[in-house]
Amino acid sequence: MNTTKRMLICIQFSIAAAFLIFNSCRKDDNLTDPSGTRVYTTLNRTIIAENVQEWPVLFPFEVSKYASFPEYGTWSYGPGLEYQKRFDLMAPGYGNTIVKKSARLLNFFAITDVHITDEETPASALFFGYKGGFIGGYSNVMLYSTQVLNAAIKTINLLHKETPFDFGISMGDACNNMQYNELRWYIDVFDGKKIIPDSGIKNDPKPGPGNDYQDEFQAEGLDSSIPWYQTLGNHDHFWTGLLSPDDAARKIYTQDIILNLDNVLLYPHTQNLFESRGFYIGSIDGSTLLGESKGIGPEAGFQTPPKVDAADPDRRSLHENEWMTEFFNTTSNPSGHGFSQNNANTGFACYSFEPKADIPIKVIVLDDTQSNNDPNDNFYAHSSLDLDRYNWLVSELEKGQSEGKLMIISSHIPIGVLPPDNGMGWSKESAITENDLITRLHTYPNLILWIAGHRHVNQVTPFPSTDPDHPENSFWEVESTSLRDFPQQFRTFEITRNSDNTVSIFTTDIDPVMEEGSLPALSRYYAVCSQQIFNVLKPYAPSFSYNAELVKQLNAEMQEKIREVGTTIK
């Protein structure tokens, strides 16, 4: 068979497979809004991935075989999830009386772990997931990261028309691999610009506009009346969120030869991992409709080093200060998206802001990722605070407490949910222990909420006061899942003043609107396939979603301070 005929057959098969994908991904379409403009939150309905099983029935990279197995990618609508009333932080017996919402203090959305991905980079980490094991290394959802973010922005804008958001916040891992082009696509989607989610040679796997992951599209853009803020994540300044690249490794990003590295997941003890060799890490062939992988495997299996289709200077890796500087190149609000010019100059990615001048609430944005200067800790996916960041945090908390402001902390990595030896938990190299940090946080009765991403799960964790006579010295932590992995959601938070001396935090999971036949809908199919193949364990099965009303006691000072503020709820 000659090469031309083989290529034609491959293209025909790819188109047929894509057609099957679009028509098999949804089992129950009864609740679909024909106009495509109505937002169904998880209060109305949930999305259930079916036939979840352990791999390797198929390897993740065998995308061309997915459509041959009708059980793959299937999902259905499940029942909505009411708000679970959580009184974990309240005194015993609370909840026996009727309490009403009196006024809305704050309404905002939180989005995290978008992982905008240049799938054609020569410096990816496909090797660690293309045959299973590490879903963060490979999933075909990575092809559609810009389109999924755009779908989320559209959904946010629709929700904003119903109940206006005071602000939005992104909790890190905007990029997948610290690349300039990834960050530009991310900011440009928020800004509503034209997006060309392609690098190297411009590809068009399926001729025609808007029908494949490489095609240019016009981004929706976040409603200009919603300010949005940014948090730093480990993927934003480490190679695939794991390693700190040296100068030699950074050069690989903009060249065409695929990264050659030791299997660092098996041998994390290697001192200078970027000097190790043995495996070509792989890339995606952007000319293929299904995003076929290439250039993966032991070095001995290649006569010549595998390459991507072309080098690209826009793939350059960013240092923290360069990454923050880019947020000033924006048309949405505010300029810098929370970062000051001093943040960008120094690389110090912590700041605070007050969303509403007439509401005493302060948001503290904390960089709790590891520093590039940390001692070797195998991987740099831990949470950590050096003394500068810890002292800054304490200063902000002290100031907020003394000024009588309720406080929310936004970080990328959650606290208190993983054992210290976990690769995503607290770093043993941190200048302060996790227990000492939590003990300090319990001294601030005005701290009501810590929000985070990183683990790609929805989870609510109470941090009750250690003093039973002072339940106000407690706070909630809410983790949000990733837009990349199933269930591909973001969250909304509504904080209300209640008719007694408490506030309630209503947190709701939101599925982005994905019109049938669209590229975001195809990404949902791949997200379900990946969940089925990798069988990632997450809380709140089978939808992995959780809505809650989180009640928090206030001290007498704050009870008086907020007694007359907020938008009255009728």
| CATH superfamily, with its number, for domain 3-568 | Metallo-dependent phosphatases (3.60.21.10)
Q: SS3 of 206, please?
A: coil
Tokens linked to 109: 């959305």
Q: Average pLDDT of each block of 10 consecutive residues along the chain (570 residues)?
A: 35 37 40 59 94 71 90 92 94 76 92 98 92 89 97 97 96 97 98 97 95 97 98 96 88 95 62 77 96 93 95 97 97 97 96 96 97 74 94 98 97 93 86 95 97 97 92 96 96 93 95 94 95 90 96 90 81
pLDDT at 378: 65
Rounding to the nearest 10 degrees, give the CA dihedral for residues 202, 19, 41, 110.
-20
Do residues 475 and 194 lie in contact, with contact meaning Cβ atoms separated by under 8 Å? no
Distance, first Cα to last Cα, the chain: 73
pLDDT at 393: 98
Closest listed residue to residue 520, CA positions, set 558, 549, 484, 468 = 484
Write the DSSP string, 246-296. Answer: -HHHHHHHTSSBPPEE--TTT-TT-SSGGG--SEEEEEE-TTSTT--EEEE
pLDDT at 134: 86
Tokens linked to 327: 């947020």
Tokens linked to 86: 């959580």
Do residues 279 and 131 lie in contact, with contact meaning Cβ atoms separated by under 8 Å? no
143 DSSP 8-state letter: G
pLDDT at 13: 35
Do residues 562 and 495 lie in contact, with contact meaning Cβ atoms separated by under 8 Å? no
pLDDT at 499: 85
Beta bridge partners of 407: 362, 447
CA 116 to chain centre: 9
pLDDT digits (tens, 9 = 90+) for 243-277: 888 888 899 999 999 999 887 655 555 456 777 78
Do residues 34 and 43 lie in contact, with contact meaning Cβ atoms separated by under 8 Å? no
pLDDT at 172: 96
pLDDT at 20: 35
